[in-house]
Structure 1
Amino acid sequence: MNELLNQLAECVEFGKINKASPFPPQMKGQDGADEITRQLLDNRVKAQEILTSGLMPGMEKVGVKFRENKVFVPQVLMSAKAMSTAMIHLKPFFASGEAKQKGTFIIGTVLGDLHDIGKNLVAMMVEGNGYKVIDLGTDVSTDRYIEALNENPGAVVGLSALLTTTMVNMEKITQEIKTAFPNALVTIGGAPVNDDFCLKIGADNYSPDPQGVVEFLNTKIA
């Protein structure tokens, strides 16, 4: 089974969704994440093991490569698609409680901002590393973050912004989250923000890339 788990990790790393997928060219005609996940489940490998020994190692490699500019957004999206295809088979086990996720991550692009590529990349990477992700979408007001925290006690919140005109909304949202939930952790990201801005608004973490968010969550939750 270790060989199949290694193959699954490779499918995620290189974005091999299923056997019919022509991408990547060097894996054409081979089983993809879809078929291998089903094979593992058919062989009674637990969903938890498939997640931790197959999907997570693959997504971690993608995250590190992306940080080092060795792969770019299209490749990360293919890896995320492979991961999501595998997760379709595993989600019933998480829903039943048979398998456990590390924790819950709430993410959204802040009020006034409709950009979502960066947010989506973070959400995919975090889910692939074993967390339940609640994606609130774009143009998200404080009320929606508060509502999601009420429904998911102990969740970490991620705020994304791409514009200098909308990054200012991060401060108000962060402060209102902290007022309602003093122990809530808030991580921020996006092109115009940095560590100094994070400190200024009272957020707990700034990450310039998705892998940084995963590493922050791993230190705080896992």
Structure 2
Amino acid sequence: MDDGLIAGMAVVGIKFRDNIIFVPEVLVAARAMKAGMAHVEPILSASGIAPIGTVVMGTVKGDLHDIGKNLCIMMLRGAGFVVHDLGVDTQPDEFIDEVVDKEADILGMSALLTTTMPNMGRTIEAFEEAGLRGEVRIMVGGAPLSEEFADDMGADGYGKDAMACVDLAKEFVSQTGVETAVAAG
């Protein structure tokens, strides 16, 4: 996995970041990664190798775009995270329920529409009201977002692309001591 799937996706991520390849090529690579992971996951489960963290991901309420989120999910899984995908148009209470149910270390929220970006802040407020804000690290991403927007809404971090998402998630688990295995990086 380290020398094949993860190394390959790392190259894809770098080429995407450097504008050498584009979303269609990344999607093809992600499909190949998913197909490879289908064969590798049973072996990993049987070997007892622990995941490095648990992530809940979803596109916020009102937004139906998921290409970026799906790329992040594939890259996170390739890096050794267990990822639970809530899909699109996700309500704040759905995020809360899944984070609690899965005992997630990290919550990732995505938005592509500027009109749905405020729903990220509303979800963070819902975590605060539920008394769970200190239990999970929250990262956000999406084309119209910025570091400043993420800071203003109270997110713990912002990822501009799938590679930044993985780097941020790794940073979060290393800060909290959640990490139980070292991912290639």
8 Å CA contact retained: 1:59, 1:129: no
* CA displacement, residues 103-152 of structure 1 (integer Å, 9 cap, x when unaligned): 11111000011111111111111112221111100000111111111122
Measure the CA separation in 1 of the matches of 2:70 and 2:35. Answer: 16
Question: What is the letter of the counterpart of residue 182 of structure 1?
Answer: G
RMSD: 1.5
Paired-residue identity, %:
40
TM-score (norm 2): 0.87
TM-score (norm 1): 0.73
Matching residue of 2:105: 155
Measure the CA separation in 2 of the matches of 1:69 and 1:194. Answer: 19
Does residue 121 of structure 2 align to residue 171 of structure 1? yes
Measure the CA separation in 1 of the matches of 2:18 and 2:138. Answer: 25
Aligned residues: 172
Matching residue of 1:25: none
Does residue 84 of structure 2 align to residue 128 of structure 1? no
Residue segments in structure 2 that go unaligned for 5+ positions in a row: 174-178, 180-185
Does residue 158 of structure 2 align to residue 200 of structure 1? no
Structure scoring higher RCO (CA < 8 A, sep ≥ 6) equals 2
Question: Could you say what secondary structure the match of 1:165 adopts?
Answer: coil
Does residue 57 of structure 2 align to residue 107 of structure 1? yes
Q: Which has the larger radius of gyration?
A: 1
| Structure 1 residues 157 and 97, CA gap change in structure 2 (3 angstroms) | farther
Measure the CA separation in 1 of the matches of 2:8 and 2:31. Answer: 12
* CA displacement, residues 32-74 of structure 1 (integer Å, 9 cap, x when unaligned): xxxxxxxxxxxxxxxxxxx223221111111111111111111
Question: What is the letter of the counterpart of residue 56 of structure 2?
Answer: I
Matching residue of 2:8: 58
8 Å CA contact retained: 2:93, 2:126: no
